[in-house]
Structure 1
C-alpha cells in the first residue's frame, strides 16, 4: 500500500451514495423522532410489548443477563467506543501523518455525542421502570447512547478501512466486529430493560446519519487534505 499523507493533492470524488443515504436516513430519523416526541400510541404499545417480553427473559436467564451487563459496561460502552475512535485518530497521525483525517474523525465523533446528548435533553423520554430491574441507567432514554455511539464509531472506522483499501481479510474482520458491536450495543440495552426498542432504533438511525454526513463532509471539504484513496485489490 502506498504511503499517503495529508499533503496529498488528490481530491476524493463526491460520494453520491452518501448523499442519498443521508437523505433517506434524515427522513427516517425525523419520522421516528416525531413519533417518539408525540408518544404515538402504536409505537408506545409495541415498545411496551417488546420490553415486557425481553425483561421476563432477562429475569429468567440470569447467566445471559450477567453476560449482557459485562458487554454493555465494558465492550459496547460509549466510553470504550470513544477510546477506540481516539486510538484510531492517533494511529492516523503516527503511521500516516494524516492530521486532517485524524481531526475529521475526532470532530465527527464529538459532534455525534453532542447531537445525542442534545436530543436526549430535548425529548426527555423516560426509561422503562420495572419492579424487579436487572440493571439501571440514568438520564433520558431517546436516543440510546450506546447504540448511537457504536454506530458512529464503527461506521466511521469502516469507511476509513474502505477508503484506505485494506485487504479482504482485514475488511471482513473489521466488518464482522462492527456488526457485532452495533447490534450488540443496542440489543443488550433492550435486554437489560434500560431502553425501549425505539430508543435503540433511533440510535442506529441517527448514528448512521451522522456517518453519512461526515463522509459527505470529508469528500467535499476536509478530504481535499486527507488520505488518498487506495483501490481494493
Structure 2
C-alpha cells in the first residue's frame, strides 16, 4: 500500500513543461537587473541632491565623525585597514595574483577577461566621479583626508568588483564547499568593513559607499554573465 501511494503521489506531482529553463538560471540576470536599477536610482538621487538622502548622509556622517574624534585609537586602526588591508591597490594585487595563476594554467581568455573587467571597472568608477562631481565631507577637525570626487566610493567599488571576481574564480576551480564558504564570509566582511572605514574616517558619505558597492556588484555580475553565456556557449 505504501508503495502504491508513493507511486500515485509521484504520478500526480506537477512537473515543469518540456523546454522550460530552471528558475535558478534566471537568477543571475534578474540579480544583475536589480543591481542596475538600484545603482541608476541612487546615481540620479545623488546627482539631483535629493533632500532626504542628503539629510541621511549628513546625519550618519556627523554621528560617525563625533565618534572618531573621541577615539584616536580606532582612527589609527581604521586608517591601517583602509590604507593597507582594503586599499584598492591591495584588492587589485589579489586579483593580479589570480590572473597570473590563470596564465600559469594556460587559461588565457579567462585571465584576460578578469584583468579587463578590473581595468574597465576602474575606468567606470573614475568616469562617474568626474561626471557627478560630488564633494566629500568637510570637517573643521578632520581625522583623515582624501582627494577627488566622492561618488562612488573607489574603495568600495574596487573591493566589490575584485572580491566577486575572486569568488567566481574560486567557485569555478574548486568545489563550492568549505573553502568557498570561507571566501564568501571574508568577502562580505571586507565589503562591509571597507565601507565602514571610509565612513568612520569621514571621507565619504553613506550613499557614496552604497553606490560603490551596488555599481561594483552590477559591473562584476555583467562581466560574469557575459563570460558564462557568451564565451562558454561558443566553446560548446
TM bucket (normalised to shorter chain) is 0.7 to 0.9
Runs of 4+ in 1 over 6 A off after TM superposition: none
- Matching residue of 2:217: 208
Runs of 5+ unmatched residues, structure 2: 1-23
Per-residue deviation, 1:224: 4.9
- Name the CA shift for 1:149/1:134 in 2 (closer, same or farther; >3 Å): same
Deviation string 1:9-39 (CA, Å, 9 cap, x unpaired) is xxxxx95322111111111000000000000
Shift of 1:177: 1.6
Mapped to 2, the partners of 1:97 and 1:176 lie a distance apart of 29
Give CA-to-partner distance per residue, 1:66-120, whole Å, 9 cap, x none. Answer: 00000000011111111111110101111x2111111111011111111100000
Matched, 1:27 2:56: no
Give the Cα separation in 1 of the matches to 2:108 and 2:122: 21
TM-score (norm 1): 0.87
Confirm or deny: 8 A CA contact 1:18 1:213 kept in the other structure.
Answer: no
TM-score, normalised with respect to structure 2: 0.86
Question: Aligned ranges for residues 76-115 of structure 1 at < 5 Å?
Answer: 76-94=86-104, 96-115=105-124
Specify the SS of the correspondent of 1:194.
Answer: coil
Distance 1:191 1:199 in 2: 13
Q: CA separation in 1, counterparts of 2:126 and 2:233?
A: 30
The correspondence for 2:164, drawn from 155, 159, 170, is 155
TM-superposed CA distance for 1:156, in Å, is: 0.9
Larger Rg: 1 or 2?
2
Q: Which residue of 1 aligns with 2:205?
A: 196
Task: Tell me how far 1:165 sits from its aligned partner.
Answer: 3.5
How far 1:222 sits from its partner (Å)?
3.0
Name the residue aligned to 2:151. Answer: 142
TM superposition shift of 1:225 = 7.5
The CA deviation at 1:184 is 1.1
* Selected match of 1:49 from 47, 51, 59: 59
User: Separation in 2 of the partners of 1:167 and 1:33?
Assistant: 34
- Residues of 2 paired with 1:217 and 1:151: CA distance? 18
Is 2:187 aligned against 1:178?
A: yes
* SS at 2:166 equivalent: helix
Q: Could you list the runs of 5+ residues in structure 1 that have no partner in the other structure?
A: 1-13, 229-233
Indicate the SS of the match to 1:221: helix
Aligned residues: 213
Once superposed, what is the RMSD of the aligned Cα atoms? 1.6
